[in-house]
Amino acid sequence: MFGKESSIPEDKLSSLRQALQWLEDKVSSSERGFCCPGGLSMTAADLSLLSSYESVRECGVVPEMESAFPAAARWRGRCARAVPNFDKVCAAGAKEYGDYFKMMMIKNAKEREKN
């Protein structure tokens, strides 16, 4: 993104999908759908993953993200409801990051077309 890339290489997308599948499997197998011991309540691991998940979601690099990984999407919803002021403390920053990412990809594509 910070280089001159105008698209995400397929090997990177494959790795991202593998990570999303790991999250899908992890939250699917926990009792209440959180990541760590028994999944009974949100942990620091959930908070850490939530910010990364939200940023990837806002970047839109895996368009099928929510339909392909429905347990992860439900996990995101549970976490979002559990985090006070989620829209201000997480979602807004992820949206800004996603908008910037998309802008840079378009800019890089236009520059690549010129050359």
Specify burial of residue 43 (Cβ count, 10 A radius: 0-12, 13-18, 19+).
Answer: middle
The per-residue pLDDT for 6 is 82
Quote the tokens at residue 3. 């280089």
Compute the distance between CA of residue 39 and CA of residue 10 in angstroms, rounded to an integer. 32
Query: Considering the entire predicted model, what is its pTM?
Result: 0.85
Q: Where are the domains of the chain?
A: 10-114
The per-residue pLDDT for 67 is 95
Compute the distance between CA of residue 59 and CA of residue 44 in angstroms, rounded to an integer. 23
CATH architecture observed for domain 10-114:
Up-down Bundle (1.20)
Express each pLDDT in 65-104 by its tens digit: 999 999 999 989 988 988 999 999 899 999 999 999 999 9
